[in-house]
Amino acid sequence: MKRIAVFTSGGDAPGMNACIRAVVRTAVYHGIEVYGIMRGYSGMIKGEFVKLDSASVSNMVQRGGTILKSARSQKFMTKEGRQQAYDQLMNNGIEGLIAIGGNGTFTGATLFEQEFGIPTVGAPGTIDNDLFGTDYTIGYDTAVNTALEAIDKIRDTADSHDRCFFIEVMGRDSGYIAIPCAIGGGAEIVMVPETQMSTEAVIDTLREGWKRSKTSFIVIVAEGEVEGNVHEVARRVKAAIPQLDTRVTIVGHIQRGGSPTAADRLLSSQIGIAAVEGLVNGMRNVMAGIVDKKLVYTPFADTISKKKLINQSFMRMVEILNS
């Protein structure tokens, strides 16, 4: 393999630049030319390729976002769009791809390989940490620390004013961000899609706390919570406990930005190297990940279809620490 390309797709995540850096320098180490594709599959269709070398990724390991930018492409979901992407790759002599992204990215890569035979190795780039085949995804540790910093500040004002704050964190349909934030932030309650905690259970817990003369509360709500969005949950609680002074805070997209933590820089570098070397060794349609501190390659079919389960001991920790 003489020439490969790397791209980022889907939501950005802190550490993507560190992964791009690792991909480029590993390719150079193995004597392979490497190109960056701007704006994911959209840029692939348009032929937005830029040649990368070691110097072009200097001073990048600490930067948030992605220098290759990211975009969602409706056109790539069509056969015509994928044909155009393939033609652009062939025109530029690209023999393999490194895709940094999540489920949607890997779904597109799987279809692309089935139709045109372009081998792809994936790097799990998403703050949600919801991909089967790796203990942690690129950007997850940074997102948790960013959200936790915000929660710590909200805790101060909640305590000062005897208020109950409902705080929404990201995670799509996963509670992987919410649960460590609840444990590390000392939240009284955490609502995540996996447990399907009812609003009635939240009300009961808050009432019990109120009876014990507790006057400030933190309730962490994952954005994909099945009971409804954080505003709806807060509204129902307020209706049931009128004496409770409630406020809502959505941490939002600050969780996707910022300089990656040391853990994310290390993970991104490990996976970037593994992705290139997997591609060189003939792997295709697999995601490089770390499970039990060991490098593994998981088929895209599994990362897409299999559910990554929440560690139930974490939920028990929340219950014990706030009893």
Tokens 């507790």 correspond to what residue? 214
Catalytic annotation, pick one of 128, 130, 141, 264: 128
Is 25 annotated in some ligand binding site? Answer: yes
128 is catalytic: yes
Is 103 annotated in some ligand binding site? Answer: yes
Distance between CA atoms of residues 226 and 22, nearest Å? 38
Helix (H, G, I), strand (E, B) or coil at 252: helix
CB atoms within 10 A of CB 292: 6
> For residue 189, which of 212, 214, 167, 157 has the smallest C-alpha distance?
167
Is 247 annotated in some ligand binding site? Answer: yes
Segments of 160-284 assigned E as strands: 164-169, 189-191, 217-222, 246-250
Segments of the chain assigned E as strands: 3-8, 33-37, 49-52, 96-101, 120-124, 164-169, 189-191, 217-222, 246-250, 286-291, 294-299
**Residues with Cβ within 8 Å of residue 73, at least 6 apart in sequence:** 40, 41, 42, 45, 81
Is 110 annotated in some ligand binding site? Answer: no
Is 232 annotated in some ligand binding site? Answer: no
Give the single-character DSSP code of 309.
P
Is 155 annotated in some ligand binding site? Answer: yes
Is 72 annotated in some ligand binding site? Answer: yes
Is 39 annotated in some ligand binding site? Answer: no
> For residue 131, which of 172, 76, 168, 96 has the smallest C-alpha distance?
172
> For residue 123, which of 101, 94, 143 has the smallest C-alpha distance?
101
Is 170 annotated in some ligand binding site? Answer: yes
Distance between CA atoms of residues 248 and 143, nearest Å? 19
Is 252 annotated in some ligand binding site? Answer: no
Is 231 annotated in some ligand binding site? Answer: no
Is 236 annotated in some ligand binding site? Answer: no
Is 172 annotated in some ligand binding site? Answer: yes
- The one-letter amino acid at 65: G
Spatial contact of 48 and 38, defined as CB atoms under 8 Å apart = yes
Is 115 annotated in some ligand binding site? Answer: no
Is 218 annotated in some ligand binding site? Answer: no
Residue 255 CA to its chain's centroid (Å): 10
Is 23 annotated in some ligand binding site? Answer: yes
Is 24 annotated in some ligand binding site? Answer: yes
Binding-site entries for ATP: 11, 72-73, 102-105
Binding-site entries: 11, 21-25, 72-73, 102-105, 126-128, 155, 163, 170-172, 186-188, 212, 214-216, 223, 247, 253-256
Binding-site entries for ADP: 21-25, 155, 186-188, 212, 214-216
Binding-site entries for substrate: 126-128, 163, 170-172, 223, 247, 253-256
Catalytic residue IDs: 128
Binding-site entries for Mg(2+): 103
